[in-house]
């Protein structure tokens, strides 16, 4: 099966946030409304964005960016969620194997049961996507992010369905299909935007980090939308996968072997001592 992808066309997005609601509903990620002592905390944060950030129960949110073009105020809408990178820093640094690439689709999926809550994925993601939550009673932490609706028991793809966010998008700003098809479609839309006067229009995600599985049709440069222009896997993450983690496994193996040898030596010494005592008797 060919790699799959989501194409987000920012020019078609109306920021209705139906994708946010569908994501929460399907993945059973309801949130409590923030409250204060006398009721709901309804302070205005100065933005239409709601919620204000990703969390362990908000895996997708729409970012609103005010821009001035030709003397007029307008909006850039950006889908903020896991980009499902082919060269994924989170996969590289995950010590437990909880994060890995799905062999059929290429998306970065997640086995929460294997998560140790180390937080390395949070630190190294170039898009600042994963979030962790620590239980104040047990002290245990877990990470959460978009799983592309593949959570066990809630797997839409296995049932032949599109991801919930794509299914719920009224203006069809989100599409789900083979990645190569969406790359071609995205390029067509970029050319149409340039022909209409948007000279900086571009397709973000075609080559970044060896190819993202969430592609963006943008009217302007990525930084205008709050996206990194040239996202890279941090060097420390590469060192972790190629040097530090293998060395850790080697040292752990040496420790285990050493303990085993210590046990055998001690056991042999005990046997010899017992044999000596028997001979003296």
CA-nearest of 107, 103, 62 to 84 is 107
Query: Residue 188's domain is classified under what CATH number?
Result: 3.30.70.20
Same domain flag for 150 and 214? yes
Terminal-to-terminal C-alpha distance of the chain: 75
Report if residue 23 sits inside a domain.
yes
State the chain's mean pLDDT as an integer: 85
Q: Is 278 exposed, middle or buried (0-12, 13-18, 19+ CB in 10 A)?
A: exposed
Same domain flag for 84 and 216? yes
Asked whether the predicted pLDDT for residue 256 surpasses 90, the reply is: no
Asked whether the predicted pLDDT for residue 210 surpasses 60, the reply is: yes
Asked whether the predicted pLDDT for residue 27 surpasses 90, the reply is: yes
Same domain flag for 118 and 242? no
Same domain flag for 8 and 93? yes
Same domain flag for 239 and 190? no
Same domain flag for 197 and 267? no
Same domain flag for 107 and 197? yes
Report if residue 36 sits inside a domain.
no
State residue 272's pLDDT score: 52
Same domain flag for 213 and 169? yes
Asked whether the predicted pLDDT for residue 48 surpasses 50, the reply is: yes
Q: How confident is the model at residue 72 (pLDDT cuts 50, 70, 90)?
A: confident
Report if residue 11 sits inside a domain.
yes
Same domain flag for 115 and 170? yes
Structure tokens at 235: 């060097």
| Average pLDDT value for residue range 120-147 | 90
State residue 238's pLDDT score: 59
- Which residues have CB under 8 Å from 48's CB, separation 6+? 15, 64
The total number of structural domains in the chain stands at 2
Quote the domain boundaries for residue 276: 235-281
Report if residue 142 sits inside a domain.
yes
Same domain flag for 185 and 87? yes
Distances (CA, A) of 236 to 91, 120, 126, 211, 252: 13, 11, 12, 21, 21
Report if residue 38 sits inside a domain.
no
Report if residue 15 sits inside a domain.
yes
State residue 257's pLDDT score: 42
Structure tokens at 91: 């996969």
Q: How remote is the C-alpha of 248 from its chain's centroid?
A: 25
Pairing assessment for the beta strands 4-9 and 214-218 based on DSSP bridges: parallel
């Amino acid at each position: 099966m060919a790699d799959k992808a989501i194409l987000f066309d920012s020019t078609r997005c109306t920021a209705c946030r139906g994708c946010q609601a569908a994501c929460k509903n399907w993945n059973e990620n309801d949130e409590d409304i923030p409250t204060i002592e006398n009721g709901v905390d309804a302070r205005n944060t100065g933005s239409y964005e709601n919620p204000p950030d990703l969390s362990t129960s908000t895996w997708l949110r729409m970012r609103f960016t005010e821009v001035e073009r030709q003397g007029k105020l307008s909006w850039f809408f950006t889908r903020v969620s896991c980009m499902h990178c082919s060269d994924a820093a989170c996969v590289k640094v995950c010590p437990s194997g909880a994060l890995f690439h799905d062999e059929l689709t290429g998306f970065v999926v997640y086995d929460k049961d294997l998560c140790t809550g180390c937080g390395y994925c949070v630190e190294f993601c170039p898009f600042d996507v994963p979030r962790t939550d620590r239980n104040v009673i047990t002290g245990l932490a877990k990470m959460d992010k978009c799983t592309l609706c593949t959570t066990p028991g809630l797997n839409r793809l296995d049932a032949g369905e599109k991801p919930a966010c794509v299914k719920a998008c009224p203006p069809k700003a989100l599409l789900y299909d083979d990645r190569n098809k969406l790359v071609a479609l995205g390029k067509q839309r970029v050319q149409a935007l340039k022909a209409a006067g948007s000279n900086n229009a571009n397709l973000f995600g075609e080559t970044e980090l060896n190819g993202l599985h969430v592609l963006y049709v943008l009217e302007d440069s990525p930084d205008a939308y709050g996206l990194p222009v040239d996202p890279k896997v941090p060097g420390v993450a590469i060192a972790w996968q190629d040097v530090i983690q293998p060395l850790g496994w080697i040292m752990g193996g040496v420790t285990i072997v050493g303990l085993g040898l210590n046990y055998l030596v001690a056991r042999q010494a005990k046997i010899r001592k017992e044999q000596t005592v028997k001979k003296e008797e």
